[in-house]
């Protein structure tokens, strides 16, 4: 595989770079990188850009393959990757969505100033840890029957609201209202259903978390007001996805596609990019199962939001004002969307893996209350650094199919982080800084701030590229980790 050097990359702007399609004979389109130059230098240290160039070989890929500044190596696609293929017969690739289908972020806001909450933070994080099951394989409060599982896979967050675990307003402020219409529960395998049966309302492990924080700084007062944010306001971030069910859906599809590719004459430089035409039987089977897994994930985050509210009541009393949903975004998903490409409006299949939508003001899929602002884009940092609320811009669709980064992005593997971090010391240091954790020492080491890129530079990159406007910076107070 041809190694990529910085001299192979053309600067389109200080925050936008291109590996031209002439770099390798099998590239159909260029590969583009949105990143500040020091982040680009870091990206060159791993295989992310080799993976990005491989993505440009997908059948039917249009315009360019993109990575965001939080990019790091993944399975097939790099994490932080965006690619669109021609509808209806361009490729769909599970590697371009990821194993944790519809992993995403939900931001709750409260009416409370941080001064009112701070004395209760240790009690609150303990109660959140009690209410929200976390860790690999840890069961939740439900064991779904076959009929209930079908309804969750079909209706997503609507199921939770119907059961009393949320409100209609929660659905209004969830991407796609928490439900993709293409879901077909029958396409989800028995094994995937078994793995998800008792997982609703659970965090899982890895980098998934619930974080209590507050608005440390407002950058755009008008946009912040449109999102209901004010300086000093207490917030809650939820980050998780479809758990074992989504992982199994991806596993099943990759195995099926590897077998099917020769029938469609598809040959790729990396078998992890396994794909088939979107409109093929195998492509539709995966897409319908992926939509169902995405619905499961939205239902999962909806139940966790209810658990957060239960924790709030336990600590602050039944009459306490409860956290309300600002927005919920997916960042591991494929969607059929309409975008302008070379002056032509086209339907495309947008793969976003570790990337989130960033649609601009007036877009019909943005909640009406936010439509004048642009879509809220939620960027978590690490448990010791800031997170951000951003707003999509009018030009975002013309850059990377209306897409933005999804977080700070890893710079160290979990193994490398564990070697470098003394977890008990880090926990004490964070508590001295007013950040309380409920997590194992192993997880604290793996998710240490040193393991992640500089979130300020990441956000600076996507802002300077014109994809988003910065709205607010959030500072953590407490976190629970799976």
Distance CA 64, CA 329 (A): 23
Distance CA 271, CA 388 (A): 36
Residue 448: name the closest of 355, 381, 354, 379 by CA.
381
Q: Is the alpha carbon torsion for 313, 318, 323, 325 positive or negative?
A: positive
Residue that the structure tokens 């492990």 belong to: 205
Q: Report residue 433: phi and psi, to 5°.
A: -90, 5
Distance CA 385, CA 362 (A): 32
DSSP state letter for 20? -
Q: Are 85 and 62 in contact (CB under 8 A)?
A: yes
Residue 401: name the closest of 338, 460, 478, 458 by CA.
338
Q: Dmax of the chain from CA atoms?
A: 65
**What residues are labeled active site?**
406
Q: Which residues contact 194 (CB under 8 A, 6 or more apart)?
A: none
H or E element in which residue 293 lies: helix 281-316
3-state class (DSSP) for residue 376: strand
């Amino acid at each position: 595989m041809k190694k990529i050097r910085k001299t192979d990359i053309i600067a389109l702007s200080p925050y936008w770079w291109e590996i031209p399609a002439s770099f390798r004979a099998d590239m159909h389109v260029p590969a583009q990188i949105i990143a500040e130059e020091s982040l680009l230098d870091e990206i060159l240290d791993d295989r992310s850009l080799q993976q990005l160039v491989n993505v440009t070989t997908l059948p039917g890929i249009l315009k360019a393959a993109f990575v965001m500044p939080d990019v790091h190596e993944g399975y097939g696609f790099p994490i932080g990757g965006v690619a669109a293929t021609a509808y209806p017969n361009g490729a769909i690739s599970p590697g371009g969505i990821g194993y944790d289908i519809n992993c995403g972020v939900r931001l709750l806001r409260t009416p409370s100033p941080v001064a009112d909450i701070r004395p209760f933070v240790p009690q609150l994080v303990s109660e959140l840890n009690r209410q929200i099951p976390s860790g690999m394989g840890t069961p939740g409060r439900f064991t779904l029957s076959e009929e209930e599982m079908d309804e969750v896979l079909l209706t997503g967050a609507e199921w939770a609201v119907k059961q009393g675990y949320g409100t209609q307003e929660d659905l209004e402020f969830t991407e796609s209202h928490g439900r993709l219409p293409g879901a077909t529960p029958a396409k989800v395998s028995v094994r995937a259903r078994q793995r998800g049966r008792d997982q609703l309302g659970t965090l899982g492990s890895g980098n998934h978390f619930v974080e209590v924080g507050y608005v440390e700084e407002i950058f755009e007062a008008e946009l912040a007001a449109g999102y209901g944010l004010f300086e000093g306001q207490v917030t809650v971030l939820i980050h998780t996805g479809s758990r074992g069910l989504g992982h199994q859906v991806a596993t099943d599809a990759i195995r099926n596609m590897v077998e099917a590719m020769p029938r469609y004459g598809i040959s790729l430089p990396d078998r992890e990019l396994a794909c088939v035409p979107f409109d093929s039987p195998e492509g539709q089977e995966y897409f319908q199962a992926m939509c169902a897994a995405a619905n499961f994930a939205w239902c999962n985050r909806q139940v966790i939001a209810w658990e957060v509210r239960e924790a709030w009541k336990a600590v602050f009393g039944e009459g306490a004002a409860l956290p309300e949903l600002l927005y919920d975004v997916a960042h591991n998903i494929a969607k059929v969307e309409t975008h302008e490409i070379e002056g032509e409006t086209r339907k495309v299949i947008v793969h976003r893996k570790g990337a989130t939508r960033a649609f601009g003001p007036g877009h019909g899929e943005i909640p009406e209350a936010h439509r004048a602002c642009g879509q809220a884009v939620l960027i978590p940092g690490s448990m010791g650094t800031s997170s951000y609320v951003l707003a999509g811009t009018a030009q975002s669709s013309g850059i990377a199919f209306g897409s933005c980064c999804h977080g700070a992005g890893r710079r160290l593997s979990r193994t490398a982080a564990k070697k470098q971090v003394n977890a008990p010391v880090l926990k004490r240091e964070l508590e001295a800084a007013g950040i309380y954790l409920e997590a194992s020492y192993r997880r604290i080491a793996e998710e240490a701030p040193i393991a992640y890129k500089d979130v300020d530079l990441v956000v600076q990159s996507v802002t300077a590229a014109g994809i988003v406007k910065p709205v607010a910076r959030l500072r953590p107070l407490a976190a629970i980790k799976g």
